Amino acid sequence: MYKKILMAYNGTHEGRIALFECAEMASFVKAETHLLAVGTPSMSMFVEGFEGTIPEQGSAQAQKLMKNVLAEGLAALTQRGHSVTGHLAVGEPVAEICRLASQLKCDLIVVGHKRKHSRLGRWWRGSISAHLADHAPCSILIAMAPTGASHAIGPGA
């Protein structure tokens, strides 16, 4: 069964569903659990010749936001009695998820997925879950909210 599980967490409703599904499964199989929050790099990193002399207010805010998302996920799990190790990364989410899963030698990656109603929207924005399926070094569990369901997710839920 699964010995090491990596949960990619972004703080969304679907992410929280995946967070708690992952925690329950990890407890059941007694797996080592890791929680990853990924911040995307700022656009200035891609500008040729940029040497970092311009203060990056947006980048600092994004990094702070992801630290808060990670802290929220860790707190929610520890409040429910789950043991988990947190990781923070900056980069393209699929690449960072796969990198850490490989580094940790994970057996399973868990992600949340938001259903998109528009085919154009799915095509235009893509899907981290779909890209992850092409590059993951292990199995993937994709957690989704049941269609039309609105159940409480969070501490004590």
The answer to whether the beta carbons of residues 100 and 34 sit under 8 Å apart is yes
Determine the Cα–Cα distance for residues 113 and 47; give it in Å rounded to an integer.
31
Which residue blocks in the chain are alpha helix, DSSP H? 13-29, 57-79, 93-104, 119-125, 128-135
What number is the average pLDDT over the span 9-28?
89
Residue 151 neighbours by CB distance under 10 Å = 8
pLDDT range class, residue 117, cuts 50, 70, 90: low
pLDDT digits (tens, 9 = 90+) for 85-110: 999 998 888 999 999 999 999 999 99
Question: What six digits make up the tokens of 46?
Answer: 């891609």
CB-side neighbour CA atoms (13 Å) of 36: 26
pLDDT digits (tens, 9 = 90+) for 5-17: 999 998 888 889 8
Closest to 104 in 3D by CA, of 33, 52, 49, 155 = 33
The answer to whether the beta carbons of residues 13 and 63 sit under 8 Å apart is no
| CATH of span 4-45+56-101+118-143 | 3.40.50.620
* Per-residue confidence (pLDDT) for residue 148, from 0 to 100: 60
pLDDT digits (tens, 9 = 90+) for 50-93: 444 444 555 677 778 889 999 999 999 999 899 999 999 988 88
